[in-house]
């Protein structure tokens, strides 16, 4: 009798383009190969852990200490945050950032695009006993991952409840950089934000490009603009564009807080910045019964 991974390979594998295997700790993983890029996605969390354009360096950071098990979130890549962002209001014992990033997702389809330049994975997540214990509404969560010259991820929420569905969401993208102290970020000038490192103080981003100099945990609100990350040591720019998203989150724990993260190496904080496509805080989504909402993030690399 075939194992679950063998069954996935028989049903969805595509020779030379899509291969299911056992990744770290034996967790089911899909490896996508196109003429433009390679990628890896774990069914645990519906989690993209690797994206590398052909002839370029990897775009996503992945911690060398990340826990790959059935209950922990993977540190790095692109965790899927749903249905709340951060701590759940009124429920301090609820899992941070919701349950989607530690749930087991189902494969809906895998396709290779014309010409072999792109490949598309579609995953789904529906309620089970574990999710209903934390959150009662009826929903379908779909995650579409398109790999080509850019990494494109679309998170779609369908409300199957009889009443409105209120939720927060994020594609919590970790981007690898040469040195986070040297990068600059444009696209957020003049935007109001919540500074979670300053007691949730409300601030406004100035006109100059953003440069991180300390622990940063900022939720930028009411912004649909693209962000451009300039990485001088890495010799490239990373462009993050989005649709269906009104929030952008910028995060790095910096040296002191990184010491308290057991799944992050002591110096690994230097190697990434999180630029998250999100709908959080007052940008949360309220979805009528029977309706759908889609949030898309597109990540591509440019030369400096």
User: Stretch 231-239: mean pLDDT, rounded?
Assistant: 97
The residues, any chain, with a CB within 8 Å of residue 128's CB and separated by 6 or more, are none
What does the alpha-carbon distance between residue 62 and residue 33 come to, in Å, rounded to a whole number? 19
Helix (H) or strand (E) holding 256: helix 254-258
- Catalytic one among 44, 172, 241, 268? 172
Structure confidence at residue 2 as a pLDDT band (50, 70, 90): low
- Catalytic one among 241, 268, 276, 293? 276
Residues 39, 116, 302: CA angle, nearest 5 degrees: 55
User: Stretch 255-261: mean pLDDT, rounded?
Assistant: 96
Structure confidence at residue 91 as a pLDDT band (50, 70, 90): confident
Structure confidence at residue 148 as a pLDDT band (50, 70, 90): very high
pLDDT score recorded for residue 94 = 84
Structure confidence at residue 93 as a pLDDT band (50, 70, 90): confident
Q: Is 232 left (phi over 0), alpha (psi -120 to 50) or beta?
A: alpha
**Residues 264/267/270/271 CA torsion (nearest 10 deg):** -60
- Evaluate the CA torsion angle 130, 135, 138, 144 in order and state its sign: negative
Task: Write out the two tokens for 220.
Answer: 């930028």
Q: Determine which of 8-12, 55-59, 133-137, 255-259 has the lowest per-residue pLDDT on average.
A: 133-137
Q: Is the pTM value of this prediction over 0.85?
A: yes
Is 143 catalytic? The answer is no
Asked whether the predicted pLDDT for residue 3 surpasses 80, the reply is no
User: Stretch 161-189: mean pLDDT, rounded?
Assistant: 98
Asked whether the predicted pLDDT for residue 227 surpasses 70, the reply is yes
- Among 94-103, 114-123, 236-245, the range of highest mean pLDDT: 236-245
Asked whether the predicted pLDDT for residue 211 surpasses 80, the reply is yes
Average pLDDT, the chain: 96
Buried residues in 106-138 as b, exposed as e (16+ CB within 10 A): ebeebebbeeeebbbbbbbbebeeebeebbebe
Q: Please write the tens of the pLDDT for every residue from 99-146.
A: 999 999 999 999 999 889 999 999 999 999 988 988 999 999 999 999
Asked whether the predicted pLDDT for residue 277 surpasses 80, the reply is yes
| Sequence-ordered strand ranges (E) for 253-291 | 272-279, 285-287
Is 9 catalytic? The answer is no
Domains and CATH numbers, the chain: 4-303 (2.70.98.10)
What does the alpha-carbon distance between residue 111 and residue 102 come to, in Å, rounded to a whole number? 25
Q: Percentage of the chain with pLDDT > 70?
A: 99
pLDDT score recorded for residue 1 = 53
């Amino acid at each position: 009798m075939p194992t679950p991974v063998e069954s996935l390979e028989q049903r969805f594998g595509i020779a030379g383009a899509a291969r299911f295997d056992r990744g770290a700790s034996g967790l089911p993983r899909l490896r996508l190969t196109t003429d433009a890029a390679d990628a890896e996605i774990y069914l645990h969390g519906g989690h993209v852990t690797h994206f590398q354009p052909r002839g370029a360096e990897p775009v996503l950071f992945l911690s060398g200490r990340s826990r790959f098990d059935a209950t922990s979130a993977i540190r790095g890549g692109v965790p899927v945050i749903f249905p709340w962002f951060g701590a759940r209001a009124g429920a301090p014992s609820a899992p941070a950032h919701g349950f989607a990033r530690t749930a087991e997702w189902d494969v809906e389809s895998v396709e290779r695009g014309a010409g072999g330049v792109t490949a598309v994975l579609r995953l789904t997540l529906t309620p089970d006993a574990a999710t209903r214990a934390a959150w009662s509404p009826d929903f379908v969560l779909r995650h579409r991952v398109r790999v080509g010259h850019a990494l494109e991820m679309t998170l779609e929420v369908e409300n199957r409840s009889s009443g409105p569905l209120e939720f927060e969401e994020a594609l919590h993208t970790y981007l690898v950089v040469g040195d986070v102290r040297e990068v600059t970020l444009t696209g957020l000038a003049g935007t109001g934000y919540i500074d979670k490192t300053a007691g949730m103080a409300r601030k406004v981003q100035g006109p100059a490009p953003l440069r991180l100099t300390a622990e940063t945990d900022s939720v930028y609100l009411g912004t649909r603009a693209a962000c451009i990350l300039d990485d001088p040591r890495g010799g490239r720019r990373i462009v993050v564009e989005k649709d269906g998203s009104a929030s952008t989150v910028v995060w790095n724990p910096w040296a002191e807080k990184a010491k308290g993260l057991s799944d992050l190496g002591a110096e690994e904080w230097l190697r990434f910045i999180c630029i998250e496509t999100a709908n959080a805080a007052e940008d949360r989504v309220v979805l009528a019964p029977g309706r759908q909402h889609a949030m898309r993030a597109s990540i591509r690399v440019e030369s400096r």
